[in-house]
Structure 1
Amino acid sequence: MKRLKTLRVIVPVLVLILLSACSGSDEKEKGKDGNSKGMTLNAVSFLPKDHPLTATLHNWIDTVEDVTDGRVQVNWRGGADVIPIGEQFEAMNSGVMDINFTYIGQYQSLAPETLSIALSQLTPWEERENGFYDLMDERHGKLNVKYIGRWLTGSPRLWLNEPIDSVNDLKNLPIRSAPNYIRFFEKLGINSSMIDPSEVYTSLQTGVVDGFVYGGFNGPRKDGWTDSSKYVLDHPFWTQNCTILMNDDKWNEISSEDRDAIIVATANYEKEMVDYYEQLDKEEIAELEKAGVELFKLPKAEEEKFLSLAYDTEWEYLGKEVPELEEELRALTIKE
């Protein structure tokens, strides 16, 4: 079955493989000084290249080229227009693509411990300092994947067509969701609906869903989603879990010097990325308010109930899936 699944991914992108081969015919050797020689990496993302939330990825790509003196370049092919979102991780894992700008919901079933990335209360640089990054890198390695770092910040919120007064008001509400929210939403009684981003506007307009979950603030207004959903439940939960992943075999073709440079550059990029999106969120909140979008909160007891469910549900899942790691994951991701 796995072989057939891989073939279904490979067939639509044969052209990309041929292009990759042409662009990288001399990539397999390293220079005499130990540095990489003429390597072009093909990347794909689940969001379009011109989406507001992918803005800093262009900077990361430029930085990789700069710190390797042009020896390692990234050709960002595009998003779902190149490979469907649900097939992108497999494409990267099998070598059809080299890099995947993705989120853990696309591969969490293969490595449940990666859920802790979303539950982390630390900044990306704190994760690198206390060993959490190293642990996640090790666990990704078991999938033949290199975990390079994060590329987005912020927290998910519920955007609704109508405001609510209690957690119970969410029962049976149809919400546009994603795989990583299913367990939490089941606890809330929400009816999760998996809808392609290109179809969300119509789904909101026609009443297929009565809201959506979204990480951060930038995007819904520009996509027109706030024409229907003008109420944002301002109880952010978890954190963005978007990751920069690379096929491990391809990663190991890069020289050790250039690999080290890319990791250091990514750590620096993460700090700039967080600053950028935090400022962007402030600016977007002002625009949302002008557009009539309201941020509202539940009573304190209801807020505590909502957030407790958000975290307890996921930690309970991790305790069942990776009991041997739960204590360590908690210690590395929860602030005292």
Structure 2
Amino acid sequence: MKMFDNLSFKLTGAVAALAMTASSGWAEDRVSAVHAFPEFLVYTKTFLAMVDDINARGEGIVQIEVRGGPEAIGMFQQPAAVRDGIVDMVHTPGSFYGANVPEIDAMVAATVTPLEARANGGAEAMDAAHQSRFGVKHLGWIDGGVKFHIYTSKEPVFDDNGVLDLTGVKLRDNPIYHAFFEALNATTASMPATEVYAALEKGVVDAAAWTEIGLMDLKWDEFMKFAIEPPFYNTDIGVIFNKESWDALTPESRELIQSVVIEWEEKSYNDRQTSVTEDRAELEKRGMQFVTMSDEASANYLKMASDAAWARMEGRLKEMGDDGSSYETMRKLYHP
């Protein structure tokens, strides 16, 4: 009888150990996420497709639950939400929290692509800045290689040097290009992208900057009839992750998420180049006029934009007590 008791005990222990092993093997890391823009915009579609890719490859390892967009947490409040651990992961423009991580302006004014920044150490330096200043990891630069136009409902005016003059123009503002608009004498009004259609409809604003793609998704082309050439800046949309939440993931989960994001840096960059060509053709078909400045005026216009971004970054870093080393590092990596 004692022999059977010992055998029963051993079997019970073995079953329990097997159950524990299976349970730990089946346990998945769970990640919560939100995105800055509405679901119908191409940038959000990219993010959601990337999440689907991670979830498909991460079955049994890690799963990301997307809780919504700006309707769930306001787009300008999302960076603080991921920093504070309210959500684990956010897909957002870096300029929405640029006052906290000034280095993001290097991405705005970059002359390198996301792929080049990944290869030359720029992505690593950007991640380090995010971790030290904001308590988040910067996993990647998504949908890069897309620039901005200023779109207007009225025929644009140029100064004596042929450079766009926005004096008296009511322009929708955004953190990414506020410093540049000040240099162009614009009267600005800051508002989320979701409110701009109504503002255009009511005449609260008569111009806005937006990327080379997506204007028609927002239906702003119903009001905007002119696009100013040349385009300027870069989209600075990235994926940031709460540092404590990231460290709590298994190494396997971290490796999977990071590797997929890096893959999508390249994929989304290539896809968006096609989107830029297609959107321009369709806008011209709908009657959009692309107004081009002279070569000299264009060069001055782009220099004003670049100088504004780098000066803002340098000023913010100085206020934080940076000795100039971070500015010089980012300048070398993102504007060689």
TM-score between both structures, scaled by the size of structure 1: 0.85
Cα displacement (A) at 1:132: 0.6
Alignment pair present for 1:316 and 2:308: no
Pick one of 123, 131, 140 that aligns with 2:121. 131
Cα displacement (A) at 1:197: 2.4
Alignment pair present for 1:155 and 2:147: yes
The corresponding residue for 2:104 is 114
Cα displacement (A) at 1:214: 0.5
Q: Which amino acid aligns with 1:242?
A: I
Pick one of 254, 267, 272 that aligns with 1:272. 267
Cα displacement (A) at 1:107: 0.9
Q: Distance in 2 between matches of 1:35 and 1:114?
A: 39
Q: Distance in 1 between matches of 2:183 and 2:235?
A: 21
Q: Distance in 2 between matches of 1:36 and 1:307?
A: 53
The percent of aligned pairs where both chains have the same amino acid is 25
The corresponding residue for 1:301 is 296
Pick one of 29, 38, 53 that aligns with 1:63. 53
Change (3 A) 1:32 1:113: farther
Change (3 A) 1:34 1:239: farther
The corresponding residue for 1:176 is 172
The corresponding residue for 2:3 is none
Pick one of 81, 86, 91 that aligns with 2:81. 91
Change (3 A) 1:156 1:66: same
Cα displacement (A) at 1:32: 9.0
Cα displacement (A) at 1:196: 2.7
1:290-313 CA deviation, whole Å, 9 max, x = no partner? 211121211222212211100112
Confirm or deny: 8 A CA contact 2:99 2:316 kept in the other structure: no
Task: Provide the secondary structure at the position in 1 that maps to 2:140.
Answer: strand
Confirm or deny: 8 A CA contact 1:156 1:215 kept in the other structure: yes
The corresponding residue for 1:212 is 208
Confirm or deny: 8 A CA contact 1:67 1:265 kept in the other structure: no
The corresponding residue for 1:10 is none
The corresponding residue for 1:190 is 186
Change (3 A) 1:34 1:333: farther
Unaligned runs of 5+ in 1: 1-29
Change (3 A) 1:76 1:277: same
Q: Which amino acid aligns with 2:246?
A: W
Confirm or deny: 8 A CA contact 1:35 1:254 kept in the other structure: no
Task: Provide the secondary structure at the position in 2 that maps to 1:252.
Answer: helix
Change (3 A) 1:35 1:98: farther
The corresponding residue for 2:243 is 248
Cα displacement (A) at 1:33: 12
Pick one of 186, 195, 198 that aligns with 1:199. 195
Q: Distance in 2 between matches of 1:151 and 1:130?
A: 17
Q: Distance in 2 between matches of 1:33 and 1:255?
A: 15
Alignment pair present for 1:231 and 2:221: no
1:218-253 CA deviation, whole Å, 9 max, x = no partner? 2x2232211111111121111110110111111111
Q: Distance in 2 between matches of 1:252 and 1:31?
A: 22
Alignment pair present for 1:73 and 2:63: yes
Cα displacement (A) at 1:165: 4.7
Alignment pair present for 1:52 and 2:47: no
Q: Distance in 2 between matches of 1:186 and 1:178?
A: 12
Structure of higher CA gyration radius: 2
The number of aligned residues is 305
